[in-house]
């Protein structure tokens, strides 16, 4: 799987100065990225085993590098089993306003069309940028999580969700975690 170390390795080996240099001719009076030039630049990462985008743990330089990659390159990750959970939330949070933007140079839809969720199953095939914020959650161990249930923490607001579906419970749980 595409883990945090793999993702960081990619971001730390990229040369930011080179990216700026390569694109400065198209953005000589820099007012934001020039996406017209970026449509020619494509990184094909199709059909790998990328399951997560662990961008929530990135430092400022790594986030900046990732933002530049998205601005100047079409990162094609078609047919990767991306899980839309807490590990993918920063990426979603970064993409959403840029895709919906009415700014001079919004992020081109073509650059992110291949970034689709594989899991959870109810959002399979949905572009990461349009998945509702509340989908991005991860299981979390709480000492007062009811037996037979799974407790989650949502990324957007840290709210706790207790999922007891299909467990043949005969009564409501007596105690649940706060939040």
User: How far apart (Å, rounded) are the C-alpha atoms in residues 56 and 23?
Assistant: 27
pTM comes to 0.73
pLDDT exceeding 70 applies to what percent of the chain?
A: 69
Whole-number pLDDT of residue 29: 43
Other beta carbons within 10 Å of 81: 15
Mean per-residue pLDDT over the chain, rounded: 78
| Per-residue pLDDT reduced to its tens digit, 137-172 | 999 999 999 999 999 999 999 999 999 999 999 999
What is the pLDDT at residue 13? Answer: 67
Residue with the bigger pLDDT between 51 and 121: it is 121
Q: Is the pLDDT of residue 103 over 60?
A: no
Query: Which residues have CB under 8 Å from 171's CB, separation 6+?
Result: none
Average the pLDDT over 89-101 and give the result: 77
So what's the pLDDT on residue 95?
A: 78
Give φ, ψ of 146 to 5 degrees.
Answer: -60, 145
d(CA 92, CA 130): 8
Indicate the SS3 state at residue 104.
coil
């Amino acid at each position: 799987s595409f883990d945090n170390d793999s993702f960081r390795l990619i971001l730390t080996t990229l040369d930011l100065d080179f990216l700026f240099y390569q694109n400065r001719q198209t953005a000589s009076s820099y007012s934001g990225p020039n996406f017209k030039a970026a449509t020619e630049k494509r990184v094909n990462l199709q059909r790998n085993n990328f399951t997560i985008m662990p961008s929530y743990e990135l430092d400022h330089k790594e986030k900046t590098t990732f933002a530049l990659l998205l601005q100047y390159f079409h990162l094609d990750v078609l047919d990767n089993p991306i899980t839309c959970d807490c590990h993918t939330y920063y990426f979603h949070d970064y993409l959403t306003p840029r895709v919906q933007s009415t700014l001079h140079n919004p992020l081109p839809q073509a650059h992110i069309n291949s970034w689709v969720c594989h899991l959870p199953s109810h959002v399979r095939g949905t572009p990461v940028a349009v998945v509702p914020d509340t989908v991005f959650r991860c299981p979390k161990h709480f000492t007062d999580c009811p037996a037979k249930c799974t407790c989650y923490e949502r990324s957007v607001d840290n709210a706790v969700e207790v999922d007891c579906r299909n467990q043949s419970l005969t009564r409501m749980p007596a105690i649940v975690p706060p939040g």
